[in-house]
């Protein structure tokens, strides 16, 4: 006789093997004494295996990840699941309500880990997430978008020197992998310190839905689950991801209006004009040129700028890898066109 898998326990609730349960973690209260909760969906598989934590909106205005989580919930059957899936669509409920990246005290929740049970609001929420959710995870996918008015090409950020994280990143299937060691006070950084591999998916812009970012993100999460043996089926990537060696921001050399010549995802060559800065009152323009070869992976969507502001985020590649990256990116964009 096969022994039934033990129940998963969270916040005093028990999730029996082969079932799904929504659990609310008491986060804090508004000034009106209204309780705010972090809503958690737990899928406890019939068979033992990894525990994958998928979370979004640790920055409250980053919405693509929320929709990825919502669609993910409809794609998982706990009876056919190996291991446990924990889904947290909205971590920063305060920021989500206010359509803000930050908490009411202007703190960035993703700069407050591991937090403290006796600290300020951000510290308490970080501590709640760390002690109630992160502690259960064997693997983590953290879903993000670009900041407000900044659009990011779908990409995975992780420490590519870590074999497990690199394997998760390759399975995910975003067109680019960016080597990025996390800040120690971020959720990803704290998870890595605890020996929990965590990859970060960046795609789209704050306060906007991007269907390309959402579809590729959902497919990526499911691919990681398959690679971990949590779901049946093969990892379905049409093309392999390419790792960039570094990235940098091209900054404005003057103040004025921005006439962009290239778009997100396009390849640039060294010296190529990527934008002109012009005065609203006429006169000569200032040409902004690409300092190196690369691919535009992030862009400012505001057509006005002050000197020194970031305009284009460009990724660089080793040798001929830029050719491969460009081809893979074309395939990726055609797949979701």
Q: Write down the domain spans for the chain.
A: 8-242, 246-317
Residues 6+ apart with CB under 8 A from 268: 262, 274, 290, 293, 294, 295, 296, 314
- Which of 144, 147, 169 has its CA nearest to residue 158? 169
Which pLDDT does position 238 carry in this prediction? 66
Which pLDDT does position 248 carry in this prediction? 96
Residues 6+ apart with CB under 8 A from 183: 111, 189
Q: Cα separations (Å) of 233 from 166, 180, 228? A: 20, 30, 11
List per-residue pLDDT tens for the chain, 337 residues long: 456 899 999 999 999 999 999 999 999 888 889 899 999 999 999 999 999 999 999 999 999 999 999 999 999 999 999 999 999 999 999 999 999 999 998 999 999 999 999 999 999 999 999 999 999 999 999 999 999 999 999 999 999 999 999 999 999 999 999 999 999 999 999 999 999 999 999 999 999 999 999 999 999 999 999 999 999 998 987 667 899 999 999 999 999 999 999 999 999 999 999 999 999 998 889 999 999 999 999 999 999 999 999 999 999 999 889 999 999 898 888 888 6
CATH code matching the domain that covers 246-317, chosen among 3.30.390.10, 2.40.160.20, 3.40.50.150, 2.40.50.100 = 2.40.50.100
What tokens appear for 209 in the block? Answer: 């839905």
Which pLDDT does position 1 carry in this prediction? 46
- Spatial distance between the Cα atoms of 182 and 203, rounded to a whole number of angstroms: 17
Which pLDDT does position 250 carry in this prediction? 97
- Which of 139, 138, 132, 143 has its CA nearest to residue 67? 143
What tokens appear for 62 in the block? Answer: 């980053």
What tokens appear for 286 in the block? Answer: 């200032």
Q: Report the top-level CATH class of 8-242.
A: alpha beta
């Amino acid at each position: 006789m096969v022994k039934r898998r033990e129940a998963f326990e969270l916040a005093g609730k028990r999730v029996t093997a082969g079932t799904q349960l929504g659990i609310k973690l008491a986060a804090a209260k508004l000034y009106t004494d209204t309780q705010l909760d972090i809503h958690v969906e737990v899928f406890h598989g019939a068979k033992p295996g990894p525990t994958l934590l998928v979370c979004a909106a640790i920055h409250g205005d980053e919405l693509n990840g929320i929709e990825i989580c919502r669609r993910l919930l409809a794609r998982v059957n706990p009876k056919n699941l190996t291991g446990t899936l924990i889904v947290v669509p909205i971590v920063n409920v305060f920021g989500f309500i206010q359509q803000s990246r930050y908490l009411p005290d202007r703190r960035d929740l993703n700069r407050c880990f591991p937090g403290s049970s006796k600290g300020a609001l951000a510290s308490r929420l970080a501590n709640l997430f760390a002690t109630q959710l992160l502690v259960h995870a064997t693997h983590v996918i953290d879903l993000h978008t670009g900041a407000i008015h900044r659009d990011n090409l779908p990409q995975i950020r992780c420490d590519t020197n870590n074999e497990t994280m690199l394997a998760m990143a390759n399975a995910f299937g975003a067109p680019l992998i960016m080597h990025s060691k996390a800040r120690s006070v971020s959720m990803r950084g704290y998870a890595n310190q605890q020996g929990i591999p965590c990859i970060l998916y960046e795609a789209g812009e704050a306060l906007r839905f991007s269907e390309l970012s959402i579809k590729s993100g959902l497919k990526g999460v499911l691919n990681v689950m398959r690679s971990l043996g949590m779901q049946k089926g093969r990892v379905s990537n049409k093309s392999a991801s390419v790792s960039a060696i570094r990235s940098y921001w091209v900054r404005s050399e003057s103040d004025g209006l921005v006439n962009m010549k290239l778009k997100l995802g396009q390849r640039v060559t060294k010296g190529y004009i990527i934008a002109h800065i012009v005065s609203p009152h006429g006169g000569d323009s200032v040409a902004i040129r690409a300092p190196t070869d690369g691919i535009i992976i992030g862009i400012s969507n505001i057509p006005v700028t002050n000197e020194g502001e970031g305009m284009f985020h460009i990724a660089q590649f080793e040798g001929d890898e830029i050719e491969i990256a460009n081809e893979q990116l074309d395939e990726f964009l055609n797949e979701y066109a």
